[in-house]
Structure 1
Amino acid sequence: MLTPTEENALRIHIEKLEKKVVIMQKLSTIEGFYSEFFEKLKTAPSNKSAFNEVNETYFELFGKYRYSDFNTFKVITNRNNKKIK
């Protein structure tokens, strides 16, 4: 049986894991990564820094980078945008 303090710590840990799962689900798709990039653009000093922040988050969660660098991200994004049009 857990003490109230242990229960609270476990509840907090579970909430953190649930938030982590949500961001992992979002970043696991190209659209989600792109969406998160645009969210970061609102506060980031540049496109590249917004990209780096999202790509680093992806690395922390998945153990690898989604894109090797900002230029690769731009090329793939441009290519995907052309397919949509």
Structure 2
Amino acid sequence: MTISQHHIAVQVENERLRKENELMRQIASTDGFYEYYFRQIVNFKSRREAFKYVNELYKKCFGSYRYSDYDSFRITSNRKK
């Protein structure tokens, strides 16, 4: 690997880490998780599938689920209204 190839690889990795960090900051808070979930709904057939996707992202980032299931998420989000 040449120096320029290495430099490009480092830039690509830095960008990936920046995006991952941004996502982690977003979904770490209850409000951020909720907002990210609502932005994802359009990409899925159901709200439950969108929730599952975001909850899995949370687990990937933090090592555990934010919510035990969709119903606990709904109960928590309904309290916010």
Report if TM-score (shorter chain) is over 0.5: yes
Matching of residues 2-17 of structure 1 within 5 Å? 3-17=3-17
In structure 2, what is the equivalent of residue 79 of structure 1? Answer: 79
Whole-Å separation in 1 of the counterparts to 2:66 and 2:12: 29
Count of matched residue pairs: 80
Measured after TM superposition, the shift of residue 42 of structure 1 is 1.1
Cα RMSD of the aligned pairs, angstroms, is: 1.0
Structure 1: gaps of 5 or more residues: none
- What TM-score, normalized to structure 2? 0.94
Q: Could you tell me which runs of 5 or more consecutive residues in structure 2 were left unpaired when the two chains were aligned.
A: none
1:51 corresponds to which residue?
51
Residue deviations 1:55-85, cap 9 Å, x none? 000011111100000000001111122xxxx
Identity across aligned pairs (percent)? Answer: 32
Paired with 1:59 and 1:3, the residues of 2 have a C-alpha distance of 36
Aligned structure 1 segments of 4 or more residues deviating by more than 3 angstroms? none
